[in-house]
Amino acid sequence: MSFSSLGLLDALVNTANELGYQTPTAIQQKAIPIVLQGRDLLAAAQTGTGKTAAFTLPLLHKLSSEGPAVGSNQVRCLILVPTRELAEQVLSSVQTYGRQLPLTSYAVYGGVSINPQILKLRQGIDVLVATPGRLADLHRQNAVRFDKVQLLVLDEADRMLDLGFALELAEILADLPRKRQSLLFSATFSDEIRTLANKRLNNPLTVEVSPRNTAAQTVKQWLIPVDKKRKAELLLHLLAQRPNTQLLVFVKTRKGTEHVGQLLREAGLKCDTIHGDKPQPARTRALQAFRDEALQVLVATDVAARGLDIPDLPLVINHDLPTVAEDYIHRIGRSGRAGSQGEAISLVCADEVEQLAAIEQLLKQTLPRQEEPNFSPAHRVPLTQDGIVQAKPKTKKPKHNTNDSMISAAARLGTWFGESPKPARAGRSKANAAKKPSTAKNKPKR
């Protein structure tokens, strides 16, 4: 099948061809005709499947072909997304796919000044990408009117609910015109998502491109059992074995993210962090540097897990397992995208066995385990089978002095990356390593 056979405008087909898209992906083949017909759509698709183009191409087609020009403070198409990063990314896709069309687009989200957004919205916008909180705020201030909204997309709807946007969504949806076309995309179909769809979509067609709650098939997943206090050391060791590999590292808490980022920088790696405590411009800069490959490692909380388009990422490492099992699927969806092979390694300590069991239950598979020589945990991680924790084994006596081996791993890594190990750095690593792991104390914040 080709893009031209889908019935899209020539300008859109040409752009897809210019971008090197030879054939539509499965979700595009299924969703585009449904959207062009004007039907509501409920779609289960993970990031990496080409879902952004699956809704953006047909909605740009429709906005170009039908409907009146947009007036002051009006919007014709609303795309709601859970995070600021995703808002920027979807806006960039809208602008790329629509570059041969005379449509206006813009993104609004929190964490940045609202006044420029109010000014920009005065002109009226064809396609507005927004996070629910900021959009609800702008709407309350009459900076945006919904009376001309003809198309609504809820992207990563499950994530919007997870992040607590249910009230803002309800407020926005209640004010939209009843006569509109609505598309809902979600990586997973929970009962909440089905309820939302039943209430807000009009007789939708459902498409699903990957089995429910199944992680990307193209990702090789495995775990390494390790003691909690040796995780960072193991991470350094794994990176030393993979000198030029670009990767995302997921850490449970914001503090933990900074701690790991600091250790990696001290080991000479080009690394930055993104998490909820960082100002938006710094997060955007870090993400851009990572996309430009100016950074080798990005250390992130789950804020980064959804929807961020980082093409062909070969490796994801879970320094900590996520507390919400479904986040595991979103995290590892960062690698093995658009058909490329990826690898996801989870560093799992004994405390995390319940989280591991929940993830395996969701995946309907037991993740292969592979102990790393010299990192066998003193606190054994109980075996799991079909999502159930087996009996707890006895604790083994530790063989290693953690701090010393942390320094030697960092020093080895420094050498590997062309830096001679410096005593001062090793000293700081030691100090950091000697602290109690910050992840243990802090409630996860995303």
Q: Which is nearer to ligand AMP, 309 or 327 (CB)?
A: 309
Taking CB under 6 A as the rule, does residue 311 contact ligand AMP? Answer: yes
For ligand AMP, the closer CB: 218 or 402: 218
Stretch that binds ligand AMP, among 19-27, 280-288, 377-385, 399-407 (CB under 6 A): 19-27
Which residues within the stretch 356-385 sit at the binding site for ligand AMP (CB under 6 A)?
Answer: none
Location of structure tokens 């080798």: 296
Q: Is 243 left (phi over 0), alpha (psi -120 to 50) or beta?
A: alpha
Q: Which stretch binds ligand AMP (CB under 6 A): 33-41, 48-56, 128-136, 212-220?
A: 48-56
Site string for ligand AMP, 320-359 (x = CB under 6 A): -----------------xx---------------------
Stretch that binds ligand AMP, among 21-29, 69-77, 252-260, 319-327 (CB under 6 A): 21-29
Q: Which is nearer to ligand AMP, 56 or 131 (CB)?
A: 56
Q: Any contact of residue 309 with ligand AMP (CB under 6 A)? A: yes
Is the Cβ–Cβ distance between 215 and 336 less than 8 Å? no
Q: Is 15 in the site for ligand AMP (CB under 6 A)?
A: no
Which residues lie below 8 Å from residue 319, measured CB to CB, with a gap of 6+? Answer: 231, 232, 235, 249, 250, 251, 252, 256, 260, 299, 347
- Quote the tokens at residue 188: 């997973």
Nearer to ligand AMP, 23 or 195 (CB): 23
Size of the site for ligand AMP (CB under 6 A): 15
Matching residue, tokens 């047909």:
58
Q: Are 75 and 146 in contact (CB under 8 A)?
A: yes
Task: Give whole-number Cα distances, 60 to 3, 48, 52, 93, 239, in Å.
Answer: 14, 21, 12, 11, 43
Is 35 near ligand AMP (CB under 6 A)?
A: no
Shortest separation between residue 30's beta carbon and ligand AMP, angstroms: 13
> Which residues 388-427 are close enough to bind ligand AMP by CB under 6 A?
none
Single residue of 8, 32, 35, 51 touching ligand AMP by CB under 6 A? 51
Task: Rank residues 50 and 124 by Cβ distance to ligand AMP and give the closer one.
Answer: 50
| Contact between 49 and ligand AMP per CB under 6 A | yes
For residue 315, the minimal CB distance to ligand AMP (Å) is: 17
Q: Are 249 and 274 in contact (CB under 8 A)?
A: no
Among residues 35, 41, 53, 303, the one that binds ligand AMP under rule CB under 6 A:
53
**How far is 128 from 135, CA to CA, in rounded Å?**
10
Contact stretch for ligand AMP (CB under 6 A) within 45-53, 191-199, 363-371, 381-389: 45-53
Q: Rule CB under 6 A: is residue 58 a binding residue for ligand AMP? A: no
State yes or no: residue 159 binds ligand AMP (CB under 6 A).
Answer: no
Give the binding site for ligand AMP (CB under 6 A). Answer: 21, 24-25, 28, 47-53, 309, 311, 337-338
